[in-house]
Structure 1
Amino acid sequence: MSVNALYTDLSGYYDLMCVDIDYQAQSNAIRRLHQLFGNDGTAHLDLACGTGPHVRHFIDSGYTSGGLDINQPMLDIAASRCPEAQFTLQDMSTFDVSEPVDLITCFLYSIHYSDGVEKLDACISSAHRALKSGGIFCFNAVDKDKIDNGLSVKHSAKQADDIFTFRSGWHYSGHGERQALRLSIEKTSAGATQVWNDEHSMVAVSFVELTALLTPYFEVHVFEHNYETITPWDTVSGNAIFVCVKR
Protein backbone atom coordinates (compact mmCIF):
# COMPACT_ATOMS: atom_id res chain seq x y z
CA MET A 1 0.00 0.00 0.00
CA SER A 2 1.40 3.42 -0.90
CA VAL A 3 2.14 6.16 1.61
CA ASN A 4 -0.94 8.14 0.64
CA ALA A 5 -3.27 5.18 0.22
CA LEU A 6 -3.61 4.43 3.91
CA TYR A 7 -4.62 7.96 4.86
CA THR A 8 -6.75 8.47 1.77
CA ASP A 9 -8.65 5.21 2.14
CA LEU A 10 -9.02 5.58 5.92
CA SER A 11 -9.36 9.36 6.18
CA GLY A 12 -12.78 8.87 7.73
CA TYR A 13 -11.13 6.92 10.56
CA TYR A 14 -8.22 9.28 11.13
CA ASP A 15 -9.80 11.06 14.08
CA LEU A 16 -10.56 7.69 15.65
CA MET A 17 -6.93 6.68 15.17
CA CYS A 18 -5.88 9.86 17.02
CA VAL A 19 -8.60 9.76 19.68
CA ASP A 20 -6.06 9.66 22.52
CA ILE A 21 -4.29 12.85 21.40
CA ASP A 22 -4.97 15.95 23.50
CA TYR A 23 -5.19 18.48 20.66
CA GLN A 24 -6.30 21.27 22.98
CA ALA A 25 -3.32 20.84 25.33
CA GLN A 26 -0.93 20.80 22.37
CA SER A 27 -2.51 23.90 20.84
CA ASN A 28 -2.52 25.75 24.17
CA ALA A 29 1.16 24.96 24.76
CA ILE A 30 2.20 26.31 21.38
CA ARG A 31 0.09 29.43 21.91
CA ARG A 32 1.98 30.04 25.17
CA LEU A 33 5.29 29.61 23.36
CA HIS A 34 4.12 31.99 20.65
CA GLN A 35 3.26 34.56 23.32
CA LEU A 36 6.74 34.18 24.81
CA PHE A 37 8.83 34.13 21.65
CA GLY A 38 6.70 35.46 18.82
CA ASN A 39 5.23 38.73 17.68
CA ASP A 40 1.77 39.94 18.65
CA GLY A 41 0.08 38.66 15.48
CA THR A 42 -2.57 35.98 15.24
CA ALA A 43 -2.25 34.69 11.67
CA HIS A 44 -1.57 30.95 11.87
CA LEU A 45 -0.83 28.17 9.40
CA ASP A 46 -0.73 24.45 10.30
CA LEU A 47 1.44 22.24 8.07
CA ALA A 48 0.23 18.65 7.50
CA CYS A 49 -3.00 19.73 9.19
CA GLY A 50 -4.86 16.46 8.59
CA THR A 51 -8.52 16.80 9.53
CA GLY A 52 -7.96 20.18 11.20
CA PRO A 53 -8.34 19.62 14.98
CA HIS A 54 -5.43 21.91 15.85
CA VAL A 55 -6.75 24.56 13.47
CA ARG A 56 -10.10 24.39 15.26
CA HIS A 57 -8.49 25.11 18.64
CA PHE A 58 -6.45 28.01 17.29
CA ILE A 59 -9.55 29.58 15.74
CA ASP A 60 -11.43 29.17 19.01
CA SER A 61 -8.54 30.95 20.75
CA GLY A 62 -8.83 34.00 18.51
CA TYR A 63 -6.38 33.18 15.73
CA THR A 64 -7.03 33.49 12.01
CA SER A 65 -6.00 29.96 11.20
CA GLY A 66 -5.67 27.71 8.16
CA GLY A 67 -3.85 24.62 7.04
CA LEU A 68 -2.35 22.60 4.25
CA ASP A 69 -2.01 18.89 3.59
CA ILE A 70 -1.27 16.56 0.66
CA ASN A 71 -4.48 14.54 1.08
CA GLN A 72 -7.70 16.05 -0.21
CA PRO A 73 -10.02 13.72 1.76
CA MET A 74 -8.37 14.97 4.97
CA LEU A 75 -8.82 18.57 3.87
CA ASP A 76 -12.49 17.95 3.09
CA ILE A 77 -13.02 16.85 6.70
CA ALA A 78 -10.95 19.81 7.96
CA ALA A 79 -13.09 22.24 5.94
CA SER A 80 -16.22 20.77 7.48
CA ARG A 81 -14.74 21.09 10.97
CA CYS A 82 -13.46 24.64 10.36
CA PRO A 83 -15.64 26.29 7.68
CA GLU A 84 -14.15 29.70 8.46
CA ALA A 85 -10.60 28.53 7.70
CA GLN A 86 -8.77 28.30 4.39
CA PHE A 87 -7.20 24.94 3.54
CA THR A 88 -4.99 24.21 0.55
CA LEU A 89 -3.70 21.04 -1.09
CA GLN A 90 0.07 21.58 -0.96
CA ASP A 91 3.32 19.79 -0.21
CA MET A 92 4.82 21.32 2.92
CA SER A 93 8.30 21.16 1.37
CA THR A 94 7.42 23.72 -1.29
CA PHE A 95 4.36 25.58 -0.02
CA ASP A 96 3.36 29.18 -0.64
CA VAL A 97 1.06 31.55 1.21
CA SER A 98 -0.92 34.48 -0.16
CA GLU A 99 -0.05 36.60 2.90
CA PRO A 100 2.75 36.11 5.46
CA VAL A 101 1.70 34.62 8.80
CA ASP A 102 2.81 35.04 12.40
CA LEU A 103 2.89 31.39 13.47
CA ILE A 104 3.50 28.15 11.60
CA THR A 105 2.97 24.83 13.34
CA CYS A 106 3.62 21.23 12.41
CA PHE A 107 2.28 18.78 15.00
CA LEU A 108 2.47 15.01 15.52
CA TYR A 109 6.04 14.65 14.21
CA SER A 110 4.77 15.53 10.73
CA ILE A 111 7.96 17.48 10.02
CA HIS A 112 9.47 14.06 9.31
CA TYR A 113 7.17 13.59 6.31
CA SER A 114 9.73 15.59 4.35
CA ASP A 115 11.24 13.05 1.96
CA GLY A 116 14.91 13.32 2.81
CA VAL A 117 17.13 16.05 4.23
CA GLU A 118 16.99 18.11 1.03
CA LYS A 119 13.18 18.28 1.21
CA LEU A 120 13.36 19.03 4.94
CA ASP A 121 15.66 21.95 4.23
CA ALA A 122 13.20 23.14 1.57
CA CYS A 123 10.36 22.94 4.13
CA ILE A 124 12.38 25.02 6.59
CA SER A 125 13.13 27.57 3.88
CA SER A 126 9.45 27.70 2.87
CA ALA A 127 8.41 28.27 6.49
CA HIS A 128 10.95 31.06 6.88
CA ARG A 129 9.71 32.72 3.69
CA ALA A 130 6.06 32.45 4.78
CA LEU A 131 6.57 34.08 8.19
CA LYS A 132 6.33 37.75 9.08
CA SER A 133 9.17 39.44 10.94
CA GLY A 134 9.32 38.01 14.45
CA GLY A 135 7.15 35.06 13.45
CA ILE A 136 7.85 31.58 14.77
CA PHE A 137 7.87 28.04 13.44
CA CYS A 138 6.96 25.36 16.02
CA PHE A 139 7.09 21.58 15.60
CA ASN A 140 8.00 18.39 17.42
CA ALA A 141 10.67 15.96 16.26
CA VAL A 142 12.42 12.71 17.14
CA ASP A 143 16.20 12.24 17.17
CA LYS A 144 17.17 9.38 14.84
CA ASP A 145 20.03 8.31 17.11
CA LYS A 146 17.68 7.78 20.05
CA ILE A 147 14.98 5.70 18.36
CA ASP A 148 14.28 2.37 20.04
CA ASN A 149 13.09 0.05 17.27
CA GLY A 150 11.47 -2.23 19.83
CA LEU A 151 9.04 0.37 21.14
CA SER A 152 5.54 0.99 19.80
CA VAL A 153 2.26 2.43 21.01
CA LYS A 154 -1.16 0.78 20.83
CA HIS A 155 -4.71 1.82 21.54
CA SER A 156 -8.20 0.60 20.70
CA ALA A 157 -11.39 2.52 19.99
CA LYS A 158 -14.97 1.65 19.15
CA GLN A 159 -17.10 3.20 16.43
CA ALA A 160 -20.69 1.93 16.15
CA ASP A 161 -20.30 -1.86 16.12
CA ASP A 162 -16.69 -1.82 14.92
CA ILE A 163 -13.60 -2.15 17.10
CA PHE A 164 -10.34 -0.62 15.88
CA THR A 165 -6.85 -1.35 17.16
CA PHE A 166 -4.05 1.00 16.15
CA ARG A 167 -0.30 0.36 16.51
CA SER A 168 2.58 2.60 15.50
CA GLY A 169 6.32 2.73 16.06
CA TRP A 170 9.52 4.28 14.73
CA HIS A 171 12.23 2.22 13.06
CA TYR A 172 15.72 3.42 12.14
CA SER A 173 18.40 1.20 10.60
CA GLY A 174 21.22 3.11 12.26
CA HIS A 175 22.51 4.86 9.15
CA GLY A 176 21.28 7.14 6.38
CA GLU A 177 18.60 9.83 6.21
CA ARG A 178 15.52 7.59 6.16
CA GLN A 179 13.51 6.27 9.08
CA ALA A 180 10.17 4.51 8.99
CA LEU A 181 6.88 4.99 10.77
CA ARG A 182 5.31 1.56 10.90
CA LEU A 183 1.53 1.48 11.23
CA SER A 184 -0.98 -1.28 11.77
CA ILE A 185 -4.75 -0.83 11.83
CA GLU A 186 -7.15 -3.65 12.66
CA LYS A 187 -10.90 -3.36 12.21
CA THR A 188 -13.10 -6.03 13.76
CA SER A 189 -16.76 -6.17 12.79
CA ALA A 190 -19.19 -9.06 13.33
CA GLY A 191 -16.32 -11.38 14.20
CA ALA A 192 -14.35 -10.63 11.03
CA THR A 193 -11.05 -8.72 11.17
CA GLN A 194 -9.46 -6.61 8.46
CA VAL A 195 -5.85 -5.50 8.77
CA TRP A 196 -4.02 -2.61 7.09
CA ASN A 197 -0.24 -2.44 7.40
CA ASP A 198 1.86 0.40 6.09
CA GLU A 199 5.37 1.76 6.44
CA HIS A 200 5.97 5.45 5.84
CA SER A 201 9.45 6.45 4.73
CA MET A 202 10.33 9.62 6.63
CA VAL A 203 13.37 11.82 7.01
CA ALA A 204 15.81 10.85 9.77
CA VAL A 205 17.92 13.52 11.46
CA SER A 206 19.67 13.93 14.76
CA PHE A 207 18.86 17.02 16.79
CA VAL A 208 22.37 18.29 16.07
CA GLU A 209 21.73 17.96 12.33
CA LEU A 210 18.27 19.48 12.61
CA THR A 211 19.55 22.48 14.55
CA ALA A 212 22.24 23.01 11.92
CA LEU A 213 19.56 23.09 9.20
CA LEU A 214 17.45 25.57 11.15
CA THR A 215 20.14 27.98 12.35
CA PRO A 216 20.71 29.86 9.06
CA TYR A 217 17.02 30.82 9.09
CA PHE A 218 15.98 30.92 12.75
CA GLU A 219 16.97 31.49 16.34
CA VAL A 220 16.35 28.00 17.71
CA HIS A 221 14.98 27.07 21.16
CA VAL A 222 14.45 23.43 22.13
CA PHE A 223 12.07 22.24 24.86
CA GLU A 224 11.14 18.98 26.51
CA HIS A 225 8.34 17.10 24.75
CA ASN A 226 5.81 18.04 27.42
CA TYR A 227 2.77 20.12 26.54
CA GLU A 228 1.88 20.74 30.19
CA THR A 229 5.01 22.66 31.16
CA ILE A 230 7.62 24.74 29.34
CA THR A 231 10.94 23.11 30.22
CA PRO A 232 14.23 23.40 28.32
CA TRP A 233 15.31 20.20 26.60
CA ASP A 234 17.55 18.10 28.84
CA THR A 235 19.82 17.18 25.87
CA VAL A 236 19.17 13.51 26.65
CA SER A 237 15.60 12.69 25.62
CA GLY A 238 14.94 11.74 22.00
CA ASN A 239 11.74 13.76 21.57
CA ALA A 240 11.55 17.54 21.71
CA ILE A 241 9.58 20.64 20.76
CA PHE A 242 11.42 23.13 18.55
CA VAL A 243 10.56 26.83 18.68
CA CYS A 244 12.20 28.72 15.83
CA VAL A 245 12.12 32.53 15.70
CA LYS A 246 12.58 34.05 12.22
CA ARG A 247 15.90 35.84 11.84
Structure 2
Amino acid sequence: MSFNALYTDLSGYYDLMCVDIDYPAQSNAIHRLQQIFGNGETAHLDLACGTGPHVRHFIDFGYASSGLDINQPMLDIAATRCPEAQFTLQDMGSFEVSAPLDLITCFLYSIHYNAGIEKLKMCMTSVHRALKSGGVFCFNAVDKEKIDNGLFVKHSAKQGSELFTFRSGWHYSGQGEKQSLRLSIEKTDADGTQVWNDEHPMVAVSFAELVTLLEPYFEVHLFEHNYEKIIPWENTSGNAIFVCVKK
Protein backbone atom coordinates (compact mmCIF):
# COMPACT_ATOMS: atom_id res chain seq x y z
CA MET A 1 0.00 0.00 0.00
CA SER A 2 1.42 3.37 -0.96
CA PHE A 3 1.76 6.23 1.50
CA ASN A 4 -0.95 8.30 -0.14
CA ALA A 5 -3.32 5.35 -0.31
CA LEU A 6 -2.64 4.62 3.33
CA TYR A 7 -3.43 8.20 4.30
CA THR A 8 -6.52 8.23 2.11
CA ASP A 9 -7.83 5.00 3.59
CA LEU A 10 -7.09 6.13 7.14
CA SER A 11 -7.98 9.81 6.83
CA GLY A 12 -10.77 9.26 9.34
CA TYR A 13 -8.14 8.13 11.86
CA TYR A 14 -5.60 10.87 11.18
CA ASP A 15 -6.58 12.87 14.24
CA LEU A 16 -6.04 9.78 16.39
CA MET A 17 -2.57 9.44 14.91
CA CYS A 18 -1.84 13.01 16.00
CA VAL A 19 -3.70 12.89 19.32
CA ASP A 20 -0.57 13.65 21.35
CA ILE A 21 0.23 16.83 19.39
CA ASP A 22 -0.34 20.06 21.30
CA TYR A 23 -2.07 22.01 18.55
CA PRO A 24 -3.04 24.96 20.81
CA ALA A 25 0.57 25.46 21.97
CA GLN A 26 1.95 25.19 18.43
CA SER A 27 -0.59 27.60 17.00
CA ASN A 28 -0.18 30.08 19.83
CA ALA A 29 3.60 30.06 19.51
CA ILE A 30 3.46 30.94 15.82
CA HIS A 31 0.79 33.55 16.52
CA ARG A 32 3.20 35.17 19.00
CA LEU A 33 6.03 35.05 16.47
CA GLN A 34 3.75 36.65 13.88
CA GLN A 35 3.02 39.44 16.37
CA ILE A 36 6.77 40.00 16.81
CA PHE A 37 7.97 39.67 13.21
CA GLY A 38 4.84 40.19 11.13
CA ASN A 39 2.99 43.12 9.67
CA GLY A 40 0.04 43.06 12.07
CA GLU A 41 -2.38 41.67 9.49
CA THR A 42 -4.16 38.32 9.52
CA ALA A 43 -4.50 36.75 6.06
CA HIS A 44 -3.16 33.23 6.71
CA LEU A 45 -2.52 30.03 4.75
CA ASP A 46 -1.52 26.68 6.25
CA LEU A 47 0.44 24.42 3.90
CA ALA A 48 -0.15 20.65 4.19
CA CYS A 49 -3.02 21.49 6.53
CA GLY A 50 -4.32 17.93 6.88
CA THR A 51 -7.63 17.87 8.72
CA GLY A 52 -7.29 21.53 9.72
CA PRO A 53 -6.60 21.61 13.48
CA HIS A 54 -4.07 24.43 13.21
CA VAL A 55 -6.40 26.38 10.93
CA ARG A 56 -9.12 26.05 13.57
CA HIS A 57 -6.92 27.70 16.19
CA PHE A 58 -5.83 30.53 13.90
CA ILE A 59 -9.46 31.29 13.05
CA ASP A 60 -10.18 31.44 16.77
CA PHE A 61 -7.26 33.90 17.13
CA GLY A 62 -9.00 36.16 14.61
CA TYR A 63 -7.14 35.24 11.42
CA ALA A 64 -8.72 34.91 7.99
CA SER A 65 -7.31 31.43 7.53
CA SER A 66 -7.20 28.99 4.65
CA GLY A 67 -5.47 25.70 3.98
CA LEU A 68 -4.17 23.48 1.23
CA ASP A 69 -3.26 19.81 1.03
CA ILE A 70 -2.83 17.11 -1.63
CA ASN A 71 -5.29 14.76 0.10
CA GLN A 72 -8.97 15.46 -0.57
CA PRO A 73 -10.39 13.26 2.24
CA MET A 74 -8.26 15.25 4.72
CA LEU A 75 -9.62 18.49 3.26
CA ASP A 76 -13.18 17.23 3.57
CA ILE A 77 -12.65 16.75 7.30
CA ALA A 78 -10.94 20.15 7.53
CA ALA A 79 -13.91 21.84 5.86
CA THR A 80 -16.24 20.34 8.46
CA ARG A 81 -13.94 21.44 11.30
CA CYS A 82 -13.48 24.95 9.86
CA PRO A 83 -16.51 25.92 7.74
CA GLU A 84 -15.32 29.55 7.75
CA ALA A 85 -12.10 28.65 5.92
CA GLN A 86 -11.36 27.97 2.27
CA PHE A 87 -9.48 24.75 1.53
CA THR A 88 -7.94 23.87 -1.80
CA LEU A 89 -6.45 20.70 -3.27
CA GLN A 90 -2.96 21.92 -4.20
CA ASP A 91 0.68 20.90 -4.00
CA MET A 92 2.64 23.23 -1.72
CA GLY A 93 5.52 23.09 -4.19
CA SER A 94 3.60 25.06 -6.81
CA PHE A 95 0.50 26.66 -5.32
CA GLU A 96 -1.45 29.79 -6.20
CA VAL A 97 -3.45 32.17 -4.01
CA SER A 98 -6.16 34.65 -4.95
CA ALA A 99 -4.80 37.50 -2.80
CA PRO A 100 -1.48 38.25 -1.04
CA LEU A 101 -1.03 36.78 2.44
CA ASP A 102 0.44 37.98 5.73
CA LEU A 103 1.34 34.60 7.24
CA ILE A 104 2.06 31.18 5.75
CA THR A 105 2.61 28.23 8.09
CA CYS A 106 3.75 24.65 7.61
CA PHE A 107 3.56 22.52 10.75
CA LEU A 108 4.57 18.98 11.72
CA TYR A 109 7.77 18.96 9.62
CA SER A 110 5.60 18.93 6.51
CA ILE A 111 8.08 21.14 4.66
CA HIS A 112 10.01 17.89 4.14
CA TYR A 113 7.17 16.49 2.00
CA ASN A 114 8.73 18.38 -0.90
CA ALA A 115 10.28 15.53 -2.87
CA GLY A 116 13.77 16.99 -3.30
CA ILE A 117 15.85 20.16 -3.17
CA GLU A 118 14.46 21.48 -6.47
CA LYS A 119 10.89 20.95 -5.25
CA LEU A 120 11.82 22.65 -1.97
CA LYS A 121 13.14 25.64 -3.93
CA MET A 122 9.85 25.76 -5.87
CA CYS A 123 7.95 25.77 -2.58
CA MET A 124 9.99 28.70 -1.30
CA THR A 125 9.40 30.58 -4.54
CA SER A 126 5.65 29.95 -4.27
CA VAL A 127 5.62 31.12 -0.65
CA HIS A 128 7.61 34.25 -1.47
CA ARG A 129 5.27 35.06 -4.35
CA ALA A 130 2.17 34.55 -2.18
CA LEU A 131 3.29 36.76 0.73
CA LYS A 132 2.92 40.50 1.06
CA SER A 133 6.07 42.52 1.62
CA GLY A 134 7.06 41.88 5.23
CA GLY A 135 4.89 38.75 5.36
CA VAL A 136 6.08 35.80 7.44
CA PHE A 137 6.68 32.14 6.61
CA CYS A 138 6.91 29.83 9.67
CA PHE A 139 7.72 26.13 9.62
CA ASN A 140 9.62 23.50 11.59
CA ALA A 141 12.37 21.29 10.18
CA VAL A 142 14.85 18.56 11.08
CA ASP A 143 18.56 18.79 10.26
CA LYS A 144 19.62 15.74 8.22
CA GLU A 145 23.05 15.76 9.86
CA LYS A 146 21.53 15.19 13.30
CA ILE A 147 19.01 12.46 12.57
CA ASP A 148 19.27 9.39 14.80
CA ASN A 149 17.88 6.45 12.81
CA GLY A 150 17.30 4.50 16.01
CA LEU A 151 14.81 6.96 17.49
CA PHE A 152 11.06 6.75 17.01
CA VAL A 153 7.93 8.01 18.72
CA LYS A 154 5.04 5.79 19.73
CA HIS A 155 1.59 6.32 21.17
CA SER A 156 -1.73 4.52 21.38
CA ALA A 157 -5.31 5.75 21.22
CA LYS A 158 -8.76 4.18 21.31
CA GLN A 159 -11.71 4.88 19.06
CA GLY A 160 -14.79 2.96 20.07
CA SER A 161 -13.77 -0.69 20.39
CA GLU A 162 -10.63 -0.23 18.25
CA LEU A 163 -7.13 0.29 19.66
CA PHE A 164 -4.56 2.03 17.46
CA THR A 165 -0.81 2.08 18.01
CA PHE A 166 1.24 4.52 15.95
CA ARG A 167 5.02 4.52 15.49
CA SER A 168 7.05 6.92 13.38
CA GLY A 169 10.69 7.89 12.99
CA TRP A 170 13.16 9.55 10.63
CA HIS A 171 15.73 7.61 8.64
CA TYR A 172 18.68 9.12 6.75
CA SER A 173 21.41 7.15 4.97
CA GLY A 174 24.03 9.78 5.73
CA GLN A 175 24.36 11.14 2.21
CA GLY A 176 22.26 12.78 -0.48
CA GLU A 177 19.02 14.76 -0.39
CA LYS A 178 16.63 11.94 0.47
CA GLN A 179 15.46 10.90 3.91
CA SER A 180 12.33 9.01 4.86
CA LEU A 181 9.58 8.98 7.42
CA ARG A 182 8.95 5.42 8.54
CA LEU A 183 5.42 4.86 9.76
CA SER A 184 3.63 1.92 11.36
CA ILE A 185 -0.07 1.84 12.19
CA GLU A 186 -1.52 -1.09 14.11
CA LYS A 187 -5.28 -1.50 14.60
CA THR A 188 -6.69 -4.10 16.99
CA ASP A 189 -10.38 -4.91 17.35
CA ALA A 190 -12.60 -7.94 17.96
CA ASP A 191 -11.64 -9.35 14.55
CA GLY A 192 -7.91 -9.25 15.22
CA THR A 193 -4.98 -6.98 14.38
CA GLN A 194 -4.10 -5.23 11.16
CA VAL A 195 -0.74 -3.53 10.57
CA TRP A 196 0.23 -0.97 7.93
CA ASN A 197 3.94 -0.27 7.43
CA ASP A 198 5.12 2.44 5.11
CA GLU A 199 8.18 4.52 4.29
CA HIS A 200 7.64 7.88 2.66
CA PRO A 201 10.52 9.61 0.85
CA MET A 202 11.15 13.18 2.00
CA VAL A 203 13.72 15.86 1.29
CA ALA A 204 16.85 15.80 3.47
CA VAL A 205 18.55 19.12 4.14
CA SER A 206 20.90 20.53 6.74
CA PHE A 207 20.00 23.76 8.49
CA ALA A 208 22.99 25.46 6.84
CA GLU A 209 21.70 24.39 3.43
CA LEU A 210 18.17 25.44 4.31
CA VAL A 211 19.25 28.92 5.41
CA THR A 212 21.24 29.30 2.17
CA LEU A 213 18.12 28.41 0.15
CA LEU A 214 15.94 30.84 2.10
CA GLU A 215 18.18 33.88 2.37
CA PRO A 216 17.69 35.17 -1.20
CA TYR A 217 13.99 35.56 -0.39
CA PHE A 218 13.74 36.05 3.36
CA GLU A 219 15.30 37.40 6.51
CA VAL A 220 15.73 34.13 8.41
CA HIS A 221 15.45 33.59 12.19
CA LEU A 222 15.87 30.21 13.90
CA PHE A 223 14.37 29.27 17.24
CA GLU A 224 14.58 26.21 19.44
CA HIS A 225 11.84 23.66 18.84
CA ASN A 226 9.98 24.81 21.95
CA TYR A 227 6.39 25.97 21.63
CA GLU A 228 6.19 27.16 25.22
CA LYS A 229 9.11 29.63 25.10
CA ILE A 230 10.67 31.72 22.35
CA ILE A 231 14.35 30.78 22.53
CA PRO A 232 16.94 31.43 19.79
CA TRP A 233 18.35 28.23 18.29
CA GLU A 234 21.69 27.39 19.92
CA ASN A 235 23.25 25.54 16.97
CA THR A 236 23.14 22.15 18.67
CA SER A 237 19.66 20.61 18.46
CA GLY A 238 18.48 18.86 15.31
CA ASN A 239 15.03 20.42 15.29
CA ALA A 240 14.16 24.10 14.92
CA ILE A 241 11.40 26.56 14.14
CA PHE A 242 12.17 28.80 11.16
CA VAL A 243 10.69 32.30 11.01
CA CYS A 244 11.23 33.85 7.59
CA VAL A 245 10.29 37.47 6.83
CA LYS A 246 9.83 38.30 3.15
CA LYS A 247 12.42 40.75 1.84
Instruction: Quickly name the TM-score band, shorter chain normalised.
Output: over 0.9
Q: Matched residues in 1 for 2:6 and 2:94: separation?
A: 23
The equivalent of 1:43 in structure 2 is 43
Q: Does 1:10 align with 2:10?
A: yes
The equivalent of 1:87 in structure 2 is 87
Q: Does 1:22 align with 2:32?
A: no
The equivalent of 2:226 in structure 1 is 226
The equivalent of 2:54 in structure 1 is 54
Give, as a single letter, the amino acid of the residue that structure 1 aligns with 2:25. Answer: A
TM-score normalised according to structure 2 size: 0.99
Tell me which stretches of 4 or more aligned residues in structure 1 moved more than 3 Å: none
Q: Matched residues in 1 for 2:190 and 2:92: separation?
A: 40
Q: Note the alpha carbon deviations across 1:136-190, whole angstroms, 9 max, x for none.
A: 0000000000000000000000000000000000000000100000000000001
The equivalent of 2:167 in structure 1 is 167
Give, as a single letter, the amino acid of the residue that structure 1 aligns with 2:85. Answer: A
Q: Note the alpha carbon deviations across 1:104-125, whole angstroms, 9 max, x for none.
A: 0000000000000000010011
Give, as a single letter, the amino acid of the residue that structure 2 aligns with 1:130. Answer: A
Q: Matched residues in 1 for 2:12 and 2:64: separation?
A: 26
Give, as a single letter, the amino acid of the residue that structure 2 aligns with 1:111. Answer: I
The gaps in structure 1 that reach 5 residues or longer are: none
Q: Matched residues in 2 for 1:120 and 1:103: separation?
A: 18
Q: Matched residues in 2 for 1:2 and 1:213: separation?
A: 30
The equivalent of 1:153 in structure 2 is 153
Q: Matched residues in 2 for 1:100 and 1:3: separation?
A: 32
Q: Considering only aligned residues, what root-mean-square deviation do their CA atoms show, in Å?
A: 0.5
Q: What secondary structure sits across from 1:40 in the alignment?
A: coil
The equivalent of 2:119 in structure 1 is 119
The gaps in structure 2 that reach 5 residues or longer are: none
Q: What secondary structure sits across from 2:6 in the alignment?
A: helix
What's the offset of the Cα at 1:3? 2.4
- Equivalent pairs, count: 247
Q: Note the alpha carbon deviations across 1:14-34, whole angstroms, 9 max, x for none.
A: 000000001010000000000
The equivalent of 1:183 in structure 2 is 183
Q: Matched residues in 2 for 1:5 and 1:180: separation?
A: 17
